[in-house]
Amino acid sequence: MQRKQTPKKPLADARGAVISKQLLSRGHEGAVFCSSAILRRYNGAVPSAPAPFWIGLIQMACSKDPEENLANATALIRAAAERGAQIICVQELFRSQYFCREESAELFHLAEPVPGPTSESFTRLAKELGVVLVGSIFERRLAGVYHNTAIVIDADGTLLGLYRKMHIPDDPLYFEKYYFTPGDLGFRCFDTRYARVSALVCWDQWYPEGARMAALAGAEVLFYPTAIGWHPAEKATHGAAQHDAWRTIQRSHAIANAIYVAAVNRVGYEGPPEQGLE
């Protein structure tokens, strides 16, 4: 006698909604699944049908005047929006030259709170243009606590949230540990008008876990505001290999996680001839 099988009930989340299964990654022999309900609990809603979107990356030379740099970035954001960009990202610490080439207490005056001048300027601009902005700020969180922070602003001018840089370098002419406390917010995703995005910062791009966690949380594109360059004395010997490694690590995030990666660096030479970066 054949045993009658009882139909299995579909899984449901706490609200009684049926949990659908979403394919996250494919292997050579099989597939790895994770429920979209789990992802929603982890980091917000997971979009079911992503629509195409245009991104703009603002890459510019910076002066020592924060107001001049903000004005230049604003003009370039407007130009990108006119050309159809819907999500626009500026480079790391765009309101100044890369000041971490030296350790100086006087440079902490460049920091600002969030909300503050840069975030408020960007929220107005995003609302006016109807674009999403990914900004970069030297954040003064409170007395003695500073972060290298990315902000994400939706197209209606809403400040969706912050990401505080987790991986902090301490190398010659990259003395970031003197200025920045490691981030405490984790790797985050933000649902914007045009796409679900994740913003990480520069040195994070050399490590796999941030990109992986953002991808598992449903990010459609990773943004890396960046400030990286050559020591001019090393460029002839190591420059080609360093540049290839930098490009390779960006591509590896995109390939491994099947998402877009957008990294935008600064341009030009900054600093005195003997202690500068190109």
Residues involved in catalysis: 92, 165, 202
The encoded tokens of residue 11 equal: 């899984």
- Asked if 150 contacts 134 with a C-beta cutoff of 8 angstroms, the reply is yes
Backbone angles phi, psi at 267, to 5 degrees: -130, 160
The encoded tokens of residue 264 equal: 């935008």
**Cβ neighbours around 110 below 10 Å, total:** 17
Contact residues for 82 (Cβ-Cβ < 8 A; gap 6+): none
- Asked if 35 contacts 20 with a C-beta cutoff of 8 angstroms, the reply is yes
What is the distance between the alpha carbons of residues 125 and 147, in angstroms, rounded to a whole number? 23
Q: Is 66 helix (H, G, I), strand (E, B) or coil?
A: helix
What is the distance between the alpha carbons of residues 274 and 157, in angstroms, rounded to a whole number? 43
**Cβ neighbours around 220 below 10 Å, total:** 20
Per DSSP, 218 falls in state T
What is the distance between the alpha carbons of residues 120 and 276, in angstroms, rounded to a whole number? 32
H helices of the chain, where? 36-43, 66-82, 117-129, 208-216, 232-257
- Asked if 179 contacts 145 with a C-beta cutoff of 8 angstroms, the reply is no
